[in-house]
Amino acid sequence: MSHWTTSEIPLQAGKLALVTGANIGIGFHAAKELARAGCTVILACRNQQKAEAARQSILKELPNANIEILSLDLASLVSIHAAADQFLASGRALDLLINNAGVMALPTRQLTADGFELQFGTNHLGHFVHTGLLLPSVLRAPAGRIVTVSSLAHRGGKIRFDDLRWDKDYVPWPAYRQSKLANLLFGFELQRRLERMEAPARSIVVHPGVSVTNLFHAGPGQSKNLFMKIIPFFITIIGQSDAQGALPTLYGVTAPEAQGGRYYGPDGFREMRGFPVEVKAEAQAYDPELAARLWQVSQDLTGIRYPL
């Protein structure tokens, strides 16, 4: 059986993509491969020096690439609105929106600028607002795609509606699981809403298996707990490369056969590594009532109102 690789990415000339957290890891490789395929790519990053370094790195390999930078801190509603204002002022249609940025299993509870727990606030609420604000541009594209990056870690996750900020009994992994389950609920609910209004855009969810990136150093690697501390080292043994981890994202965003409302991840052992195929999320991720409740709460918390 042949595997899907970057060689199958159709020509993307004339398209515009925006990738959150594109300065490193999976987002960086997704941005680079889209640029290689001819897409103009916006690196939406919170650190402008890192973003510029990533841009230079892509240009070194692909001198003719069209790479732009947008300042975006998903842990700040002010920043998300400012980024959206800047993008919308350009009046361009957005063909591909990749909700990739994330933080994982932070050892101590941290809050966003607006007081949300940092993982739920960045991974879910930040992208919820960012997508809602940019949606009119995606809907102007002839066949827009929104790809949201979830995780195997959504399994066993629970949306703690009674304590989304983790004011009580913060635990790093369940907080991450909650945010990644929220990514799936959001991505599938968005597809249902797009279908209801017969919009040309699709919403797709992907996961990168287990990929060696800075995510593990920045999260569990900062813990004082020895078991958590050694996780980054353990990941370098069992994980695949970040370039390989970007394949499901690239499949979701470019493969003609990738369908809205579907979930794609690696085909290998326990979906930890390999090449993109359709995979199954946990049953609760497909629950429309749970998704609708999360959607409503997300709107109430952030003040954003979707045009769907």
Ligand X SMILES: NC(=O)c1ccc[n+]([C@@H]2O[C@H](COP(=O)([O-])OP(=O)(O)OC[C@H]3O[C@@H](n4cnc5c(N)ncnc54)[C@H](OP(=O)(O)O)[C@@H]3O)[C@@H](O)[C@H]2O)c1
Residue ranges that bind ligand X, judged by CB under 6 A: 20-21, 23-27, 45-47, 50, 72-75, 100-104, 122-123, 149, 151, 207-208, 210-211, 213-215, 218, 242, 245
Closest CA to 285 of 224, 219, 207: 207
| Closest CB 132 distance from ligand X, rounded Å | 16
Query: Which of 100, 96, 70, 137 lies closest to 12 in space, CA to CA?
Result: 96
What residue number has its CB nearest to ligand X? 25
Which residue is catalytic, options 170, 176, 264, 286? 176
CB of 67 to ligand X, least distance (A): 15
Segments of 52-194 assigned E as strands:
67-71, 96-99, 145-149
Choose between 47 and 56: whose C-beta lies nearer to ligand X: 47
Closest C-alpha to 40, from 109, 95, 105, 3:
95
264 counts as catalytic: no
Extract the tokens encoding 211: 């990929």
Q: Cβ closer to ligand X: 199 or 263? A: 263
Q: Read off the tokens for 1.
A: 């059986």
Single-letter residue type at 228: M
CB of residue 165 to ligand X, shortest distance in Å: 16
Q: Give the span between the Cα atoms of 227 and 121, in whole angstroms.
A: 26
Q: Give the integer Cα–Cα distance in Å for 255 and 248.
A: 10
Distance between first and last Cα of the chain = 40
199 vs 245 by CB, closer to ligand X: 245
- Cβ-based nearer residue to ligand X, 77 or 135: 77
In the complex, minimum distance from the CB of residue 70 to ligand X, in angstroms, rounded to a whole number: 10
Catalytic residues: 176
